[in-house]
Structures are given as C-alpha cells and as structure tokens.
Structure 1
Amino acid sequence: MMLAGFETATHGEIKLDGRPINNIPPHKRGIGMVFQNYALFPHMTVAENLAFPLEVRKMSKSEREAKVKRALDMVQMGDFGGRRPAQLSGGQQQRIALARALVFEPELVLMDEPLGALDKQLREHMQFEITRLAHELGITTVYVTHDQTEALTMSDRVAVFNDGRIQQIDPPDTLYESPKNSFVAQFIGENNTLEGVVKEISGDHALVQLDGGELIDCKPVNVNEVGQRTKVSIRPERVEVNKDRLQDGAHLLKAEVREFIYMGDVFRTRISVAGNDDFIIKSRNAPDQIRLKPGEQIEIGWLPQDCRALDA
C-alpha cells in the first residue's frame, strides 16, 4: 500500500530506481497493480479495460490500439479483446488483469496475492507465466503471497516478514537451505525441530544435547554460548531411513514409526524421535526405499551439516 501510494510512510524513504517517491501521488508513480479480485471494469470490454490506463496518460488512439494488442498477445489473449470480463473464466480474467498492469510499460508491478482464487493447476501455470513475463520484459515485480511454495518458485529474492520486520531477505535457495532464525526455518517449507541445550561451540560446529539425552553435532546459527537453549532444525528430505544410503559421519538416532503415507512420488513418514512425536521424513519413491509400518522401531540418520542450531 505504501509502495503504491495509498498509505503514507510514517518513517523512512521509498525510492524507485533511486528516485524518492514518498510525495508523488499514486497515479503519477507509474506503477502497475494486480489485485486478488482482478478489479476489472465490468461495463467495459477487455480491450477497453486495457486502454483505460493509456487514455489516462493521454496517448493517441493508434498508440493505444498497438499497446493493447501487444499486451493481449503477451498473455495469449489476443482474440478476447471484444469480450466483457463476465464472459471470461477466472484464469482468463487474471491474465487480463496482468495485461492491464503491463500495458503502459511500468517501472514496477505490484501483485497482491493475485492467484489466490485459482485452482491448483491453473495457479501453477500462471506462476510460470508471470515469472516468464517479468524476466522477458525486465520489469521489477513485488509479489505478496502467503504461499511459501509460490514464493520459492517465482522469486529472485524473497523477504520474510514477521511483526512488520524483515527476518531475512535472500534468494530462495539460501532462504530454504540456510535460514537465519527459527521463525524463517519454520515458515519457509516444511521443517523438523528438536529442542536441546548447547554443550560446546567451536567455529562452525555446535554440540547439542537434545532433551531426550542424545548428543548431536550441528551448525551453529543464532547461538553463541554454552548452556543456551536451542531449536535444532532439520529438513524432512535430509533425513534418511535406509542405513545403506547414509554417508560416513552421519548421526544415528533410534525412533518409532507413527504413520506411513504413500504420496506417489514420495513417502511421508511421521515418527517419534528425541521427544518429538511429529517428526516428518520425506523419502523419494525408489525401488530400494524401505516401506515402514506404524509401531516399527527404526534408526534414522542425517549429516551434521544438514542440521542447524537456531534460537530457541
């Protein structure tokens, strides 16, 4: 809302390409917007909807028509210019809303959960379409979403907010692989946590005694002293149930299977380990992958570099 100009920033300065825009009204900022509810004008045709921001900018009729045609072709809706929004599906309306935001070639496009109303398959297709267009046109896009998968698949950089503060801003792979605190680890993707106390810290290694009594070696992040409480973070796909696949130096912990779910491409196993009854393991569906049964006693393992000692 502040970037668009609909809210006044109480502190700090907003700059677009190095130019302060705090005191510029919304219609003069040159920012395209795509809303969750599309916000198309129902009484106008698709072409008229796209031409509207160009009319506001006093463009000639021939220039408007050329830009509208180009924008419709960009979102593969070239034959729909004469239709009204009510005659379009949800996915088609979303494409028109996107074309309208791009038609005047803005410096910045703001998208507020624009795919929230679409079904899963169409949503995934539109994620790739929006990403492709943003890269092809070289337009900076600020995209708000609560869907972590959407954030990871679409972004060059992701900012994770909590209580109005940026917790971490990084490329998606850094955010997922190297969370800087326990909030980011829990918020981005699926994550397991085991609670314990730091027993030793030496450089890039921390020895943690879990509440169940087990000692494990981790990478220290957001812990810096012996005796400190910590949450150890391990991603479900980094945990191995097949001991033959474990590399040298892996930790082994005894566990009990609670639930085994076949999901097609992966097996999802819920186990009880080191005081956590909801520890999740994701295993790729492969011929040598073990299928487990509830109540079965097993040993699981992971490499020290795959677990992080985070703030408690």
Structure 2
Amino acid sequence: MPKNFHKIDLNDMRLFVSVVQAGSLTRASELLDVPKSHLSRHLTELENSLGTTLMDRGRRGIVLNELGRRFLHNAQEMLRLAQMAIDDIQTNLQKPNGLLRMSVSTEVGRGFLMHHLPAYFKRYPDVNVEVQIDNRKVNMIQDGIDIALRVGSINNDNVVARKLFDLELGVFASPGYLAQYGIPQTPHELYGHQLLYKYDGPEWAFQKEQHRVVIDGQHKLRTNDFNLIAQMVSEGLGIAVLPCFDNMIKEDWIKILPEWTLETVPVYVVYYKNRGATSVVRSMVDFLLDIPQKT
C-alpha cells in the first residue's frame, strides 16, 4: 500500500470526478472557477497518494486508463453516498429551494412537462425552475443542467435514468392529403407517398402479429422537430409518424394503418449520480415519477 494512501482527500476525489465529467482541465477550470494549475496539482497529489496514474492529460482532453475508469466508478458512488448523508440532514431542516435547471425537447416540453409544472410549483413554492427547450442532446455538465428529459435509450454510465412512461406513436395524415393521394393500406404502400421524417427520432418499424416491416423511403421533409412535422401534416403536405400527445394530434387527422402497431419509445428523467441526492433535484424526480400514466 502506498505510504500516502491514508492522506487521500475526499475533495481531491471530487475534483477528479469533475474534471473527468468536464472532459478537460481547461473546461473544468472554467466550470469550477478555480485555476487550472490548482486542478492539475491536486490530481497529481491524488495519483501520488494512490501510487498509480489514472489518466492521460493531453491537448485533446482527459483519457482514463483502466484503473482510472474503475476509480471513477467507485469515487462517484462514494461522493453520492456522502452527498446523501449531508442532504438527509439538510432536507429535514428545510424544504427544497433554489434554482433547478432542466433540459427537455420541444415535443416533450409541450406534450408533457408544461401540463404538470403548475402542480410542481404549488407543491414546492421555494423552487425556481429554468427550462431549456432544445432538440439537441445537451452536455449536462457543460451546460449546467440538473435534470434532462430524454426520449429513447440512455447510454451513459455516469447518469441515473428513471423511466417515466412509454411514448405511444402513430401514423397520421390530414383528410385533404389523403383525399388527393389515397389512403395506404399496408406499410409498403407508404413508399408511394410524401413522408415527413424526424431524422433523430424513432424508426418507422411496423408490427402486425409475426410480421415486422421497417420503412425508410424518400422523405419530403427531414427535420429534428416533431412540432414542425405536425404543422406540415396540418398543411396537407404528407404522412408522418408522431408521438400521441393530446396537444399535438389534431382531431380531424386520420390515423393510418390502425391494425399495425409501432414500437413505443421510453421517456426517461436523467440526472448525474452525484446530483441525485440534492433535495431540489430529488423533489422534481420524485414528482415526475408520481405522475399517473394513462391506461
């Protein structure tokens, strides 16, 4: 065992995790508002105390070695437990308060979050919420985001992802469009139509009994915004796969291929492991998980 092993500082472990999450010493220095030299010195002291290097620090950022990856996982868990111990006391002394920053896509913001925020504010009047509505996947650390609502699978070992609900999808068109071009009777007949497509959205995968058909035709419109697609459906410009949010699907639209089903897409609330124990983050996570889902 290294002779300085007993001198390892919990704050050095916290700095190590912050630097790795930021991606570079320069970015971590900006986010933490501490000199880059301070971070470098404490990382070196941590490695000296452990008796091994954990990372390569180059111009292209931080690259962890095998021991570094193992240490990161355990350090995050230790910091999470330490934060839980602190917050357990604090939450008994005060109600959740302060600023909570969220990131959400436009369709989930309009179709889900906006309907429930008033109830959250009534329950937690001392919390202020800043909502960033953006269809790009933000870097939660760099953008200072506490909670994100994500659609689809989550591939990040540094975050906690709790599923809120499964988002139902449907194929829709306006009566005017279908009167002009006809109603497709099978998924394959979609190839003869004007398709409106979300390029970072779910695939057009149709299921009927044991048959599965994936459609990837010529698209009249490609975008990353379901709301734009919905507007184009209303204008009679084509056929689209859309999430079945009440305020997105218009009453006069026609649902196409009702005997075929589309795979549902999970919606998650996501937060970093070392932030989940804070009272303000936990208040929103627990609130969202408590929302009853339609059956």
Q: Same fold (TM over 0.5)?
A: no
More strand by share: 1
Larger Rg: 1
TM-score in terms of structure 2 length: 0.25
Larger RCO (CA within 8 A; separation ≥ 6) = 2
More helix by share: 2
